[in-house]
Amino acid sequence: MGARTSLRVSVRVVHRAVHALRPPRRPSCWRGAGWDLNTNQVVRHYHGHLSGVYCMALHPTLDILMTGGRDSVCRVWDMRTKAAVHVLAGHENTIASMITNSVDPQVITGSMDNSIRVCW
């Protein structure tokens, strides 16, 4: 067995609470999702939501990150360019949860307005 390693991640600036995080199934995605775990440095910043982010998901087969927040939209980010490529609207309240599907390129969002949407 190799030497034991530990995982340390620090976040310096959070303006609103983060309510849920889900690790990707592909471990290599951690580096593209925000931090370089070898140096413990932030390498990506994603700005666009008008208020706090409540949930996020990495698509299992595409290089995209999806975030949902208090502004009632799901933002889709290109992991390579860091650009927001889509804004998926339709909820009337905070998006509190989301899940992606590896079979179809879609995201399912759940909102505090008691609705569920299948987007894409």
Chunk the chain into consecutive blocks of 10 residues (it has 120) and report each block's average pLDDT, rounded to whole numbers: 41 45 43 56 67 82 86 87 86 90 81 84
Task: Report the number of distinct structural domains present in the chain.
Answer: 1
pTM strictly above 0.75: no
Inside any domain, residue 86? yes
Inside any domain, residue 6? no
Inside any domain, residue 8? no
Alpha helices in 1-120 (DSSP H): 29-32
Inside any domain, residue 105? yes
Inside any domain, residue 21? no
Domain region containing 63: 29-119
Inside any domain, residue 110? yes
Inside any domain, residue 44? yes
3-state secondary structure of 102: coil
Torsion of CA 7, 13, 16, 17, to 10 degrees: 20
- pLDDT value, residue 108: 86
